[in-house]
Structures are given as C-alpha cells and as structure tokens.
Amino acid sequence: MSNEWKLTIGTSEGRNFVNIYYNKSRFRYWNGKSIGVKLTCSENPELLKSAFELKLLEGWRPQKRTVVKKVIKKPSPTLLSEVEKGVQRVLEGNYSHHHKRDVRWVHGALKQFLSKNKLTNTKVTQVKLDLLEEFILQPKWSDRTHKNVLTTLKCITKGEIHQLLKEVKTRRVKSTLHKPIRDIKALLKEVKSFNDPLYVCCLLTYGCLLRPHQEIRLLKWSDVDLDRGLIALSGNRNKSGRNRIVPIPKYIESELSSRYTSRERYVLRDSLEPYSRDYLKVLWRRYKQYASHLEDGITLYSLRHTGALRVFEKTGSLQKLQQVMGHSDMKVSLTYLRGLEVKQLDVEDLPELY
C-alpha cells in the first residue's frame, strides 16, 4: 500500500464508514458511489474498504468537495418602502413634534404622487433624478415648500436615493424679515386683560426667550428656581437637546412669585396636566380678533424675535444670544439674526455730501 494514503473503517452513531487519509486530509465514505460501485458500508464495510483500496492502487484519488453556496438575492426595495423605513425611524425617535409632522406629510404626498402616476412599485434601482425633481418641484407648491420637502426627504433616506437628492436644486427662498413688536408694553397689557395664561406665556416668550408651544406650555414649577432667579430645562425638554438655564428678569419674577403653587404643577395651567399642544395657537388666534395693538404679521413667536433683537442690541454678543435662545450652534443664531430687523449700519457710517 502506498505511503500517500491510508484506509480504515470508522463508526459514527452506530453507522460504519470508510476512512481515507490522503495528503494530510481525511475523507469519509458511506457508500461506493464516488468510485462507481453499488455498495454501502452498512451492507459490508470490509468489502467496500477493499473496493476503495483497489481503486487507489489503480490511481484514483479522493477529491475535496466544492460546496456551492446558493446565493439568495433579496428583492430590490421600492422607493416607497425605503422612505417608509426612514419615516418609521423618525416617528420612533426623539424628534420634535413639528419634524414628525413634516415627515408624515411628505410621506403621504409621495405616496399619493406615486399612486397617481402608477409608480408605486418603482424599485430604488429604477429611480432617476427627474422622478425626484418631478415630485419635489411640483408647481402647486411654493419655493419654500420645495425646499422643505427636499430637506425632509434627505432626513429619511439613505444610500442611492440620498445621493440623488443632493443633485436636486431648488430656488433660493427669499428671506422673510421678522418685524419687532413696536410697543411691547401696550401689547402685554392688552393680552393680560384678555387672558392670564396667554399673558404669562407672552412674558416668558419675550423676557426669557422660551419657545411657547413646547417649553412654556410644559413648564413646571420644579423647573423654576425663584430664589436664584433661574429657569432650568434639561436637554430632552428643548429643541437643541442641550441643558438650558435662563435667568428670570425681575418683572417676570414678581409675576411668577404671585402665582406659585407646588413643584408638581404646570406653570401656565396650575394643574397636574398641561394644556393641549394646540391650546396656545388657538388662544392667540382668538386674541388677534380682540386685539387693537397687534400689527399685521405679528405672531406669538414675534415676542421671541423681539426679545432676541433686544438682547443683541444690548450686548452685541452673538455668543450670549446663542445661549439665551438655546440654539445648538452659533450658525443657527446667526441665521436667526439675519431674519430680524437688526440695524446693520449707524447713520455715521453712511456717506456724507461734501
């Protein structure tokens, strides 16, 4: 017998098999199919061993089996299914109410667009730039809506679709200048006579630059430290995601001191339950019908804009504005400031007539 190979009979779980050791490898055979012999080890192991030995002497050698893995191709996802994954991710994540609202709206609009054009089953691999542009740049939408839809889609897509969206060009949206409230005292006085919770909200929006619908509506007395004159909000309570500490001006401190009840209650409602999300929006709409000191275009957020303008005019510091506004980045504060009626030049800077 050649030194290249060795034959034995082995057993596994009560079943015999032929062992062939060849080139430092082990091969096991339960039948003679590989050498063209109709014989199994269970019938006669010694005879099968002899048959293999004869084949080996004739020059036959065992070969390693090549296992061909069957690759199961996953079906290519559709554009709609990919968008829906992103939508689900946002809805389950720690995102603002407004962002989730925008995501739901864009998803519904896309679904309607694809259905109308019989493109519901369009695969991701079939999506072209012109299809995305046709959806995003619909004539019935304004330039601002085009930009918002594009931005929202970028937030909820990945891979090929996200890369294509980077090539979509929208028209530049014209900046809107937020006019400050000219007579803030008169407006606050009128609001106070109209509705007390709205008055407190307006005070905090202007004087502490808190966001009305989320931060003020959900403000508890436990967030207010009247002894130190501070309002402290943890990162999960404000838009930037960072802890926010805002000083309380004296004129607001006196108003809050007279209203304090217990730490567990909400400041605006003096209850263990807050007002509903749309309460302040509806209240402001009613006030607009009642108001005599309200100019066109003034919203509840105009009090925050006016407060921001006053801070910047007093300090001239973008960093302080960022801190008091609770912006996550100074770039956000700079962008915000560009939308306010900030005086860029003094009269002394203008050319004189010689």
172 in a domain, yes or no?
A: no
- Same domain for 107 and 223, yes or no, is no
214 and 158 belong to one structural domain? no
Q: Residue 17 in contact with residue 10, Cβ under 8 Å? A: yes
Whether residue 204 is found in the same domain as residue 282: yes
**Average pLDDT score over residue span 216-230:** 93
| 87 and 21 in a common domain | no
Q: Indicate the pLDDT class of residue 135, thresholds 50, 70 and 90.
A: very high
**Do residues 188 and 332 share a domain?**
yes
139-144 long-range contacts, CB within 8 A, separation 24+: 143/170, 143/171, 143/172, 143/173, 143/174, 144/173
**How many structural domains is the chain composed of?**
3
Same domain, 188 and 145: no
Is residue 90 classed as helix, strand or coil in its secondary structure? helix
Tell me, yes or no, whether 53 and 106 share the same domain. no
- 192 shares its domain with 47: no
| H or E stretch at 22 | strand 15-22
> pTM of this prediction?
0.61
Residues contacting 15, CB < 8 A, separation 6+:
30, 41, 42
CATH, residue 323? 1.10.443.10
Residue 128 belongs to some domain of the structure: yes
Summarised one tens digit per residue, pLDDT across range 236-295 is: 776 666 778 889 999 999 999 999 999 999 999 989 999 998 999 999 999 998 887 778
- For residue 170, tell me if it sits in a domain: no
- Do 129 and 221 have their domain in common? no
Q: Are residues 200 and 332 in the same domain?
A: yes
How is residue 197 written in tokens? 């919770």
Please check whether residues 252 and 139 belong to one and the same domain: no
Q: Could you please report the per-residue DSSP string of 240-300?
A: TSS-EEEE--HHHHHHHHTT---TTSBTTT-SSSPPPTTHHHHHHHHHHHH-SS--TT--T
pLDDT digits (tens, 9 = 90+) for 92-125: 987 878 889 999 999 999 999 999 999 999 999 9
The first and second tokens of residue 296, run together, are: 């066109």
**Alpha-carbon gap, residue 286 to 5, rounded angstroms:** 97
Indicate whether 67 belongs to any domain: no
pLDDT over threshold 50, residue 332? yes
Residue 18 is part of which domain span? Answer: 5-57
Q: Are both 327 and 191 inside the same structural domain?
A: yes
